[in-house]
Amino acid sequence: MERLESPMRPAEALGYVGITLAIVTLFALPGVLTPIYWRVWATLFVVFILLGTIRYYLSILYSFRRPVEPHPGRPLSVDIVVPVLDEARVLPRHVRSILAQDHPGPIRAIYIVDADCRDASLRILRRFAARDPRIVIVERGGAPGKVPALNRARGLADADVVGFVDADVSLAPDLVRRAVAHLTSGADAVKGRSTPVNKRQGLMTAVIGAERDIRERIEYYSKHAIGGFTVLTGGHFFIRREVLDRLGWFDEGIITEDMDLAARIQIEGYHLVHDPLMMAYEEAPGTLRDWYAQRYRWYRGWLQGSRRNLGPALMSRHLRGFHLMDTAFLLASTLIAPLLVLYYVLVVLKFMGISPGAMVPNEVHLIASSISLFTPLAILLMAYHERRVGRRFPWVELPAIVLILPYLLLYSVALWQAFLDEFVLRRPNRYRKYRRSGRVDHDAFD
């Protein structure tokens, strides 16, 4: 949430192109000496894509599992922490959604932490605070940014459960009730499903909406249902306070604090639940520039969290069997996925007749290439899942079937830049906050 510059200025683009060409040249040089070099690399890339393909299609199968219905126990007290940085256009919707929760236990306090606001956010919040004493505004202090703001609530939030909700996220009325029910049914932390509220704003938001729905409802839920790594994203989650205290709250050196915390929760043997029936709503970036900056930031944070947690995950006494394998694969693949950009070099060489191809049977190529069918199948499957729970499927997402390929190609550019900045150039964390429009589709909450 830091108010910093865009991750790529036009003048910097040539520098990144030059670095990329240098890396590609170094990558290609051994192939001049021995043709087997290309076959080894092609084989590694095909195997990596094959593993990802199998993983994606497993997620489709396991997405049919009905979410476990939690059994509520004794009511637990809840404190909610909200970091705020220039969210005036969406704050009223956000605050009202928290105040409208039907949780039977007390929401004791809502700590709104100022992360260096310069718009009308604080004036809006003070009006809400004047009407509801549970709203406590924590003034700015210390380092700016989202993660330091979250840590400033340490020592203030002392309820049984602490919820963290981004200021642009609106919660369904039953979200806190379901979250606490999970926490009284054996979970130590829980997150729900986030979906954009502005899918009809344009083609960009329609494709983002399709991607978010597929990831949240199919991929992330299935990874949890199958017993793999449970992802903690989406701008909201709830955790037992004693567990959070034992974990030491948030690492301010990692951009995506939720991903890092999810890894530490599972490495330490705590139980994290993903409930796709806990609905939350957020605004997707409305411009290509904002989307690129957001995805660059997300992936750079994932690189940081994966580098930090891969070793501890492999050494963990609590991760076993498929959970260990999936966690290790996710963290390791996050670190090496940007290198798939080099796969484009092999495609060009193959087209030129220089690369002889991978040392695998044609059937393996066929299975790996079937990953291209995942998005169309997943979008149609989303229509089924939404209908099953009484939600209306936004058919505006259908253009993603055609546009997902250029979307993913551009995504790979953001991944590659994040990789270069983190491991090659070692540049400081840089991203800019995009302004919300406050746009909400007429059927966003249906």
**121 and 91 in contact (C-beta within 8 Å)?**
yes
Handedness of CA 375, 380, 383, 386 (dihedral sign): negative
Sign of the CA dihedral running 255, 196, 433, 96: negative
Q: What is the C-alpha separation between 414 and 62, in angstroms, rounded? A: 30
Distance CA 243, CA 252 (A): 18
Concatenating the DSSP letter of every residue in 180-220 gives: HHHHTTT-SEEEEEEEES-GGG-HHHHHHHHHHHIIIIIII
CA atoms within 13 A on the CB side of 42: 22
Name which of 187, 331, 191 is nearest 270 in CA terms.
187
β partners of residue 195: 281
Separation in Å, CA 268 to CA 182, 236, 317, 321: 19, 21, 8, 15
Q: How far is CA 408 from CA 229, 298, 311, 338, in A?
A: 23, 15, 29, 12
162-172: pLDDT as tens digits: 999 999 999 99
| DSSP H or E stretch at residue 113 | strand 107-114
Share of the chain above pLDDT 70, in %: 90
Report which secondary-structure segment, H or E, holds 107: strand 107-114
Classify burial at 123, counting beta carbons within 10 Å of its beta carbon; exposed 0-12, middle 13-18, buried 19 or more.
exposed
Per-residue confidence band for 216, with pLDDT thresholds at 50, 70 and 90: very high
Residue 3 pLDDT: 47
How far is the C-alpha of 446 from the C-alpha of 391, rounded, in Å? 6
Q: Which residues contact 321 (CB under 8 A, 6 or more apart)?
A: 227
Q: Do 400 and 375 touch, CB atoms closer than 8 A? A: yes
Using DSSP's 3-state secondary structure scheme, residue 261 falls into helix
Longest CA–CA separation in the chain, Å: 75
266, 230 in Cβ contact below 8 A?
Answer: yes
Q: 8-12, 57-61, 243-247, 328-332: which range is least confident on average?
A: 8-12
Convert the pLDDT of each residue in 122-140 to its tens digit.
999 999 999 999 999 998 8
Query: Which sign does the torsion angle of CA 205, 211, 214, 215 carry?
Result: negative
The string of pLDDT tens digits covering residues 259-294 is: 999 999 999 999 999 999 999 999 999 899 899 999
Give the residue, 294 or 35, on which the prediction is more confident. Answer: 294
Position 20 pLDDT exceeds 60: yes
How is the chain split into domains, by residue range? Answer: 1-70+187-446
pLDDT of residue 324: 96
Alpha carbons 11 and 217: distance in angstroms, whole number:
39
Q: Residue 280, Cα to own-chain centre: how many angstroms?
A: 14
**Between 203-213 and 400-419, two packed helices, what is the crossing angle to 10 degrees?**
80
**Which run of H or E residues covers position 407?**
helix 400-419
State the pLDDT confidence band at 401, using cuts at 50, 70 and 90: confident
Residue-wise pLDDT tens digits, 348-370: 766 666 655 555 555 555 565 66
Query: Which residues have a Cβ under 8 Å from the Cβ of 283 and sit 6 or more positions away?
Result: 90, 168, 196, 197, 198, 436, 437, 438, 439
Give the Å distances, CA to CA, from 14 to 10, 232, 411.
8, 36, 19
Spatial separation of the C-alpha atoms in residues 280 and 193, rounded to whole Å: 6
What's the whole-model pTM score? 0.90
Query: Would you state the pLDDT for residue 381?
Result: 86
